[in-house]
Amino acid sequence: MKENARYQRRRAGLVAELQQKGITDERVLNAIAAVPRHRFVEDAFVNRAYNDEALPIGLNQTISQPYTVAFQTQLLDVQPGDRILEIGTGSGFQAAVLCELGARVFSIERHRALYTRTKALLHTLGYRVQTRCGDGTLGWPSYAPFDGIIVTAGAADVPPALPDQLRRPDDNHRGGSLVIPVGNKKGQYMNCLTCTGPDTFARETFQSFRFVPLVGEGGME
Ligand code: SAH
């Protein structure tokens, strides 16, 4: 109990820091306030779980910095019931944040060891995420269309399969959005592509970040 209160205090501190850094969407801030990030990091880093920093999760991969998670999630503008595809499950933290927003979450991870470990963790914590081990740059056509696709590794370009799997706008739904960091190994600019018609997309570019490389078709390696 005591420990819980300590983590909750630290988490509130992290959320305040994210707000100071310019994250304005209350729903995103509340979602991050609800996820026990200390459960998603290795034991050796538990004391740093509520610092605004990326941390190693093994296999040369990282749990993204909370600011990055907040920035990408805010761009996705998730509504309850939205179908969201994540490429790069990693620790599962981003997937948990999407669940807290009421999304139906699908997530693909290429590293089998991470896939297995994270699938079990999400289940233990009660987060319902449809997970799969494979190359996420191909998307997940059998569950498309998606209201949002979020890529949490750095791409050299937009993998061509992904925009096709976004929801087309109609009378009841707006078009889906793809949030993806695009650049080279040194850094990537955040891009948001929103589907505006059967074959048209509006593209916006934001500030730069530094992700681990996206591997596979349309990836960096
Ligand atoms: N969203 C994660 C971030 C993990 S880092 C989190 O919240 O912790 C990015 C992850 O993308 C790594 O685990 C890496 O193995 C994975 N990845 C890289 N290329 C991929 C691909 N083509 N398909 C699926 N996962 C990929």
Q: Give the integer Cα–Cα distance in Å for 63 and 212.
A: 10
**Ligand 1 site-directed mutation target among 61, 121, 127, 129, most atoms within 8 Å of CB:** 61
The verdict on the CB of residue 152 being under 6 Å from ligand 1 is yes
- Rounded to the nearest 10°, the torsion over CA 144, 73, 182, 58 is -90
d(CA 213, CA 106): 20
45-87: pLDDT as tens digits: 999 999 999 999 999 899 999 999 999 999 999 999 999 999 9
Instruction: For domain 56-209, give the CATH number.
Output: 3.40.50.150
Global pTM reads: 0.97
What spacing in Å lies between the alpha carbon of 76 and ligand 1's midpoint? 18
Give 154 Cα–ligand 1 centroid separation in angstroms: 9
What's the average model confidence in pLDDT over 196-201?
Answer: 96
pLDDT at residue 221 tops 80:
no
pLDDT digits (tens, 9 = 90+) for 33-47: 999 999 999 999 999
Q: Ligand 1 within 6 A of 90 CB?
A: yes
CA distance 76 to 210: 19
64 Cβ closer than 6 Å to some ligand 1 atom: yes
Decide: 219 in ligand 1 pocket, CB within 6 A: yes
User: Which residue carries 């997530």 as its tokens?
Assistant: 107
Q: What is the pLDDT of residue 32?
A: 98
| In the chain, domain spans | 56-209
Q: What angle do CA 188, 73, 50 make, to 5 degrees?
A: 90
Q: What is the pLDDT of residues 170-182, one digit of tens each?
A: 988 899 999 999 9
Instruction: Note the Cα 20 to chain centre separation in Å.
Output: 21
